Amino acid sequence: MSVEDEAVVKLRFQLVPDAERPEPVESEGLWAFDLGDGTYRLANVPWFVTGVALDDVVEAAPSADGTLWAIRSLRWSGRHVVRLSPIINGDPMPLLERIEAGFEQLDVGIESIGPPEWLTALDIPADADLAAIKNLLREGAATQRWTFEEACVGARWDAL
């Protein structure tokens, strides 16, 4: 089911920057399907929020102004989120196209934003070849094509 098939709402997630990873924004809005009981299933991959992934179920409540704020994660979908920061020297398109091609071969969803700073979010399905994906991530980091951050990963990922 896609976002176009159902009505979605916007959930806000408060971001807490730290010294190692200051965020460019104070909160992030994610689309979500309203499950009708104060719970919501996320309908897109986060750019900045950590600890949640597409299809996760979260609890949220409205603030006084009606903004829906995520309170806590209730059920992990098993999907992983990794964010790449491509190291751009010159025209970004050749590198972005290689990144897209490499990860799409591994059935990873990919979305990039930029400029001025480029960021690529990877949506990794629960049944993906995690070893191959992690190897590709490490190879790209070792050859200085990108840096990456593990934004939402599970025990299978950590064990590799």
Q: Mind listing the pLDDT tens digit for each residue in 81-106?
A: 999 999 998 999 999 999 999 999 99
pLDDT band with cut points at 50, 70 and 90 for residue 116: confident
Q: Name the β-bridge partners of 119.
A: 113
pLDDT at 22 over 80: no
- pTM to 2 decimals? 0.90
Q: Which domains does the chain have, with CATH numbers?
A: 3-75 (no CATH), 80-158 (3.30.70)
- Exposure string over 57-85, b if 16+ CB within 10 A, otherwise e: bbebeeeeeeebebeebeebbebbbbbbe
HSE-up (13 A, CA, CB side) for residue 11? 32
pLDDT at residue 16, as a whole number: 79
Asked whether residue 3 carries a pLDDT value surpassing 80, the answer given is no
| Predicted pLDDT of residue 1 | 42
Query: How do residues 24-73 score in pLDDT, each as one tens digit?
Result: 678 999 999 999 999 999 999 999 999 999 999 999 999 999 999 999 99
Give the pLDDT score at 37: 93
Distance CA 17, CA 81 (A): 18
